[in-house]
Amino acid sequence: MIDIKLIRENKELVKENIKKKFQDEKLVLVDEVEELDKKVRDVQVKADTLKADKNKKSSEIGKLMATGNKDEADKIKEEIANMGEEIKILEEEQVRLNKEIKDRMMVIPNIMDPSVPIGEDDTNNVEVQRFGEAVVPEYEIPHHADIIAKFNGMDKEAAGRTSGEGFYYLMGDIARLHEAMLACARDFMIDAGFTYAIPPFMIHSDVVTGVMSFPEMEAMMYKIEGEDLYLIGTSEHSMIGKFKGQIIDKKELPINMTSYSPCFRKEGGSHGLEERGLYRVHQFEKQEMIVICEPEESMDWYEKMWKLTVDLFRSFDVPVRQLECCSGDLADLKVKSCDVEAWSPRQQKFFEVGSCSTLGDAQARRLGIRAKGPNGTYYLHTLNNTVVATPRGLIAVLENNYQEDGTIKVPKILQPYMGGIEVIKPKEK
């Protein structure tokens, strides 16, 4: 949510930002907010004037009573009562108008960083740089579901019986490799100076609407029937929500934390679920990172954060690239975002394994996350980034470490988490 001062002082900037995001249907909201804001301020002036007159008249009653002018005092008392009713009506009107403003402000997109490339959808995202050589081996790389099948490592049929489409059992060495990646990612981030956390896996609706836009919420989140609780789609939600309504001591900044959680997503819409494998599923696990910092530090943190994901995947022997998200592919709360994509030697293309975003003060403004400075309180900036999400990250490791004889080379960094195993071998039939 942007600062309403932007609409008061530079509404054309707000409108231009909307146009760059190809959301022209939202342009009218800016004019509506401007008009509603004028109304609410007019109402405020009327209410303040009435309150001042009411206080003035109240002070006259004692003097009139002291001089025996009871009838005049009673008349003023009646006027004060009428003023009180009028003030109440004006205050109710303020509440109504402020709600209408907030409803619109929650939909107006955040102001993007000037460096964001302009484009209508993800086909206009821009490759920035690559890390590692994207190799296509001379031998065939099977589909990851077929690789896993050789190790008896997955059972989607049984999961279909227990839970339905989009769920899975991981087993044996594949399950162990999956958890090794998460444990390694945890220690990697702790070594990088981040505080480790395991957050709540369910959050209230006011936290959900504080960290994401309503359309994202409807498309992603599972609601617990009969309760004001949602299953998290990523631990960023509860990690940022941890600081809801807090005034953070400047000495504690920056706050940089890394969190483990399962994640639950509907995965509806055009993407849908992946029938065979594990690329798009309802449930996965993730190591995440979040930062809460001073506004002037957020872009430096953004650069540090996505590079940590690159470094981790390179340690898994996976080539990756950084892909800058264009304006039309940028969620409304985000100032700037990029994806880290892993190389798929089977498909001979890159696919997303992580996403890094800076949201400016949008989440902080919605959730009331502030610090206190010499000129009063101010909103902080929030950032988030995927360290590793599995099983999607697992797919990248399997494909890039698949050997011609059907074995999987365990990346050196993961071997301590696999009991020293250097190679995992298919199960004999």
Q: What is the pLDDT of residue 83?
A: 86
- Is 305 inside a domain boundary? yes
Please report, for the domain that includes residue 67, its CATH number: 1.10.287.40
- Is 320 inside a domain boundary? yes
Identity of the amino acid at 180: A
What are the structure tokens assigned to 172, written together?
């044996």
d(CA 341, CA 349): 9
d(CA 232, CA 394): 21
What are the structure tokens assigned to 391, written together?
């099983």
Indicate if 101 and 128 belong to the same structural domain. Answer: no
Question: Where is 191: in which H helix or E strand?
Answer: helix 172-191
Indicate if 66 and 130 belong to the same structural domain. Answer: no
Question: Where is 91: in which H helix or E strand?
Answer: helix 70-105
Indicate if 379 and 291 belong to the same structural domain. Answer: yes
Q: Which residue has the tokens 């199960």?
A: 427
Of 105, 135, 166, which one is at a domain's C-terminal end? 105
Expressed as residue numbers, the domain containing 389 is 122-424
Identity of the amino acid at 361: D
- Is 377 inside a domain boundary? yes
Query: How many helices and strands, by DSSP H and E, does the chain display?
Result: 12, 18
Of 76, 105, 134, which one is at a domain's C-terminal end? 105
Indicate if 158 and 281 belong to the same structural domain. Answer: yes
Q: What is the pLDDT of residue 270?
A: 45
Report strand pairing: 370-373 vs 247-248: parallel
d(CA 385, CA 358): 9
Please report, for the domain that includes residue 307, its CATH number: 3.30.930.10
Could you tell me if 383 and 357 are in contact, meaning their C-beta atoms sit under 8 angstroms apart? yes
Could you tell me if 295 and 365 are in contact, meaning their C-beta atoms sit under 8 angstroms apart? no
Q: What is the pLDDT of residue 283?
A: 93
What are the structure tokens assigned to 165, written together?
């489409």
- Is 112 inside a domain boundary? no
Of 60, 75, 105, which one is at a domain's C-terminal end? 105
b/e code 340-366 from CB counts within 10 Å (16+ = b): bbbbbbbeeebeebbbbbbbbbbbbbb
HSE-CB for 10 with a 13 A CA cutoff: 8
Per-residue pLDDT of the chain (429 residues; tens, 9 = 90+): 899 999 999 999 999 999 999 999 999 999 999 999 999 999 999 999 998 888 887 777 766 776 777 777 778 888 888 888 899 999 999 999 999 999 999 999 999 999 999 999 999 999 999 999 999 999 999 999 999 999 999 999 999 999 999 999 999 999 999 999 999 999 999 999 999 999 999 999 999 999 987 677 777 889 999 999 999 999 999 999 999 999 999 999 999 999 999 999 987 544 555 667 898 899 999 999 999 999 999 999 999 999 999 999 999 999 999 999 999 999 999 999 999 999 999 999 999 999 999 999 999 999 999 999 888 999 999 999 999 999 999 999 999 999 999 999 999 999 999 999 999 999 765
Indicate if 319 and 350 belong to the same structural domain. Answer: yes
- Is 117 inside a domain boundary? no
- Is 111 inside a domain boundary? no
Indicate if 78 and 45 belong to the same structural domain. Answer: yes
Could you tell me if 306 and 269 are in contact, meaning their C-beta atoms sit under 8 angstroms apart? no
Q: Name the region of 90 (left: φ>0; alpha: ψ -120 to 50; beta: rest).
A: alpha
Q: What does DSSP assign to residue 33? A: H
HSE-CB for 7 with a 13 A CA cutoff: 24
Indicate if 15 and 91 belong to the same structural domain. Answer: yes
Any alpha helices (H) in 316-384, and if so which ranges?
362-367
What are the structure tokens assigned to 260, written together?
């483990």
Closest CA to 320 of 142, 173, 128, 175: 128
Separation of CA 149 from chain center: 34
Beta strand residue intervals within 225-324, DSSP E: 230-231, 247-248, 255-264, 283-293, 320-324
Indicate if 300 and 217 belong to the same structural domain. Answer: yes
Give this prediction's pTM.
0.90
Cβ within 8 Å of residue 408, ≥6 positions away: 147, 151, 177, 398, 401, 402, 423, 424
What are the φ and ψ backbone dihedral angles of 307, each rounded to 5 degrees? -70, -30
Indicate if 133 and 100 belong to the same structural domain. Answer: no
Q: Which residue has the tokens 């009428």?
A: 82
User: Hey, CA dihedral for 86, 92, 95, 96, is it positive or negative?
Assistant: negative
d(CA 214, CA 107): 8
Helix (H, G, I), strand (E, B) or coil at 17: helix
What are the structure tokens assigned to 44, written together?
């405020």
Indicate if 182 and 291 belong to the same structural domain. Answer: yes
Indicate if 63 and 126 belong to the same structural domain. Answer: no
Residue 320: beta bridge partners?
Answer: 131, 342
Residue 82 CB: number of other CB atoms within 10 A?
12
Separation of CA 202 from chain center: 15
- Is 211 inside a domain boundary? yes
Indicate if 101 and 196 belong to the same structural domain. Answer: no
- Is 114 inside a domain boundary? no
Q: What is the pLDDT of residue 215?
A: 72
Number of domains within the chain: 2
